Chain A
């Protein structure tokens, strides 16, 4: 960490905030601009952005903006949401192994979305289409269970208990997902299995626009959290006696993380390990302060998932493997490494 220089804290923190937003921002933007250039048809970035021909005649621009950019943006949004949610869960539960997937929150979201898909539920809740809404309700339900478990005893649960509870919840939700699938016909089953692997086969901007209200709400919630999360990492009472409204912070954090996870899962299915790998890597670079960790996680998560999606599209081209397979292949060994290092 760059804390060796005796700069005044204000300048130091400002500088580190600027470096964090600037550095990670450049990486994320570069990933989003470069990723659409990769694919079966070669296109040029300069040509795609050129105004010399009208959009209807500019093939590069059409491929860039209509075929590939929606998918890249979806990857960026999902990567950012899952990474920030992971960072928030880790601080809130004071457990470095917490994440949307290890806690069973992604599983709950997947179940919600599966129910909406399989039974063709098509109602709009407060402007949010049924699949994201159902996905959010699923993640909220799973989190409610985790929260009750974590706060049932006065001193909270141990890491092991929380993770085992996550394993049990995941198994439970998987069973329910299979149960729901049983009612689906052949074509639906094929689609839902693909979806459950975590796939970014996004066409057009519609799925992204659909989740914007959820994401806007969760972003507003996340923005209020960083300093309170720093203090909460010392414990609930320790944060309270330093002036943190613990209950409000917990509610805002859990609700925002449910919204973000639900929104991501509704687009691409449960994509695992982004929520655990990214915050850990980010902390190695920016340190522990959540005013740096949260924005850095969002930007790094976006860049990482965009990169993984490029790999998923190109590694076995023309075959396309689900991006969830890539993140799990990278993330699972990393998770085991963290587990070993802790014990």
Chain B
């Protein structure tokens, strides 16, 4: 369970988030939508505990995140950023084993069980065949799947994903959506996903939180919240919104910028 309670934040004088509250129930996938500069990334950093809110609080499994050590937060919650770069030549397995950091003592080496967990996570993301490859040599889509595997190896019950498909082509976008849906189904992983891609969100998320200028415009079940008027209110875009039987979810076709 992940809860933002009345979270506000500002960089110096500029307000970024204004009294944002929502809940991600266990086993749910919640999408966070909003235009550039709406405060999505700031909100995710606050939810991950790497940034402290000016007021309000964040709770993970009923514990206030500010009372937990970095290590304890990392055991409950993992983060998948838009892109991951490694300065040095780590292998795929190295990157995934880094997810075991919060579970190991200061001078403890990864043991057989850590390796089993890492391999299991690689298998779950379809990247086991890559384990000895250098991370830097992978394609964007492969990297993202490996980083998701690392997140699974770290804390398999809650993930924060910050625009996980932003730098990926269409095929990889669908592959990541399928992967996340399957992980949620098989492992009950709770997810909060920020994205610009409304169709990606509609295919993946059971609930959406729509924000603009740091305020929540709408939140609730995806097919209730994803409407023509809300798309206009959040993005200033006229769109066609309708259920697509072949896709099995609501789809959004942007038509023109609204005036």
Binding site for B on A (CB under 8 A): 1, 3-4, 8-10, 13-14, 17, 90-91, 94-96, 224, 227, 230-231, 233-235, 237-238, 240-246, 283, 287-289, 291
Contacts and interface: CB of A to CB of B under 8 A. Distances in A.
A241 B89 contact: no
A8 B115 contact: yes
Contacts of B154: 242
B89 A96 contact: no
Contacts, number: 106
A10 B111 contact: yes
Given A4-B132, A238-B84, A242-B98, A9 B90 contact: no
- How many B residues touch the partner, as a band? 35 or more
A230 B90 CA distance: 9
6 contacts: A14-B109, A241-B48, A241-B74, A243-B102, A288-B90, A288-B94
Given A10-B109, A227-B101, A241-B74, 6 more contacts: A9-B115, A14-B109, A96-B87, A237-B48, A243-B102, A289-B94
Given A3-B91, A243-B102, A234 B84 contact: yes
B106 interface: yes
Instruction: Report which residue of B48, B49, B101, B111 has the largest number of chain A beta carbons within 10 angstroms of its beta carbon.
Output: B101
Interface string B99-119: 101101010011110110010
B46 to A, nearest CB: 12
Contact of A233 (B78, B87, B91): B87
B185 interface: no
A90 B86 CA distance: 12
B54 interface: no
B110 A9 contact: yes
B246 interface: no
Contact of B87 (A14, A94, A240): A94
A252 to B, nearest CB: 12
Interface in B87-146: 87-91, 93-95, 97-99, 101-102, 104, 106, 109-112, 114-115, 118, 132
B187 interface: no
Nearest to B162: A237
Given A242-B74, A243-B74, A244-B70, A95 B112 contact: no
> Which of A8, A14, A242, A287 gathers most chain B CB within 10 Å?
A242
B94 A242 contact: no
Contacts of A233: 86-88, 90
B156 to A, nearest CB: 14
A234 B89 CA distance: 11
A234 B101 CA distance: 13
A94 B90 CA distance: 13
A242 B99 CA distance: 6
B196 interface: no
A231 B101 contact: yes
Contacts of A243: 70-71, 73-75, 101-102
Given A242-B99, A243-B71, A237 B132 contact: no
B139 to A, nearest CB: 18
A323 B86 CA distance: 35
Contacts of B85: 234-235
A35 B114 CA distance: 44
B50 interface: yes
Contacts of A288: 86, 88-90, 94
Interface in B45-76: 45, 48-50, 69-71, 73-75
Given A9-B114, A96-B87, A288-B88, A244 B101 contact: yes
Given A227-B101, A237-B81, A242-B102, A95 B87 contact: yes
Contacts of B98: 230-231, 234, 242
